[in-house]
Amino acid sequence: MSLSHRVPDLGALELLLAVARHGSLGRAAREVGITQPAASSRVRSMERQLGVALVDRSPRGSRLTDAGALVTDWARRVVEAAEAFDAGAQALRDRRDSRLRVAASMTIAEYLLPGWLIALRAERPGTAVSLQAGNSTAVAASLLAGEADLGYVEGLAVPEGLDAVVVAHDRLVVVAAPSHRWARRRAPLTPAELAATPLVLREYGSGTRQVLDAALAEYGGLAEPLLELASTTAVKAAAVTGAGPAVLSELAVTEELASRRLVEVPVEGVRLHRALRAVWPTGPRPTGPARDLLSLARGGGG
């Protein structure tokens, strides 16, 4: 059975959150714009789908059961993720008539930028934002060609012709499927072992690849890649299926590590850290919406 049949839809989760806020099914129904009978029906449907009671109803109001409180905590995270998805999708929809053009390398575009865009929309609800996602080299090219107003990159150095400020820090981790022999190692990998092993890697020009190339240069450099893929998602999927070990941002594999679909393989003697930077063409600092987005990113607005 697919996930869509096992997980309540967003409307049902938003209703549950409203019940938790108001302690009343009637007030929750008014908040989400449906009738009280429709709200009752939706809650019952959700309870049947999950197989647990979520709401205790009484003349004094509606309160969550213990299971309902736990489901509400999970629901809040799902709704927040949907808001981040919507902010990113809105940026893509507005590409042609945008007033702020953003270019971001893949890890930042996937895991940090959606939160920053939500915060920007709250501050500047009328700002249309377009988003170009690519590797760090492509982001620099877009800025230098005048095709973007603000960029975010993951590489080791600031590309020539750009000014920059550090907005966050990131750690790269070596990961493998639980079935891979590295997942059962007792001792950490050495840099030489990592360098000599064919890996599933991002393409040349990505910030992840730049950091890894530099870190392993003194150990003979990277072996010929097992696979070379153009997105973080593709690298992660290949690693999960057991194609081979990979090196990815810690931001990108949080869920897979928590669910044990991937295992982190410790490495000693090599530093796999990098700064995440906002970049713009050399000269005056960004103004207007670009300045606001830069400020939100530096302040942890995600």
What is the spatial distance between Cα 28 and Cα 215, in angstroms, rounded to a whole number? 54
| CATH number assigned to the domain comprising residue 253 | 3.40.190.290
Give the mean model confidence (pLDDT) for residues 183-205. 93
pLDDT digits (tens, 9 = 90+) for 195-212: 999 999 998 888 889 899
Could you list the residue range(s) of the whole structural domain that residue 104 is in?
83-156+283-298
45 in Cβ contact with 7 (< 8 Å): no
Say yes or no: 94 and 240 in one domain.
Answer: no
Predicted confidence (pLDDT) per residue in 104-133, tens digit: 998 899 999 999 999 998 988 878 888 999
Whether residue 266 sits in one domain with residue 176: yes
How many domains is the chain partitioned into structurally? 3
Token pair listed for 267: 């490495």
Residue 219 lies in a domain: yes
Asked whether residue 99 falls in the same domain as residue 195, the answer is no
> Tokens representing 250?
């810690």
Both 137 and 88 in one domain: the answer is yes
pLDDT of residue 5: 73
Report whether 137 contacts 210 (CB < 8 A): no
Boundary of a domain, candidates 79, 106, 128: 79
Q: What is the DSSP annotation of 43-85? A: HHHHHHHHTS--EEEETTEEEE-HHHHHHHHHHHHHHHHHHHH
Task: Mark whether 10 and 97 lie in a shared domain.
Answer: no
| pLDDT tens per residue, range 2-48 | 666 788 999 999 999 998 898 888 899 999 999 999 999 999 999 99
Which of these, 225, 223, 248, 222, lies nearest to 235 by C-alpha position?
A: 248
Coil, strand or helix at 279: strand
Sort 1 into a burial class: Cβ within 10 Å, 0-12 / 13-18 / 19+.
Answer: exposed
Give me the pLDDT at residue 96, please: 43
User: Within a domain: residue 164?
Assistant: no
List the beta bridge partners of residue 175.
Answer: 246, 264
276-296 b/e with 16+ CB inside 10 Å = b?
A: bbbbbbeeeebeebbebbbbb
Residues 254 and 257: their CA atoms lie apart, in Å, by 5
- Asked if residues 199 and 245 have their Cβ atoms less than 8 Å apart, the reply is yes
Q: Are 138 and 231 in contact (CB under 8 A)?
A: no
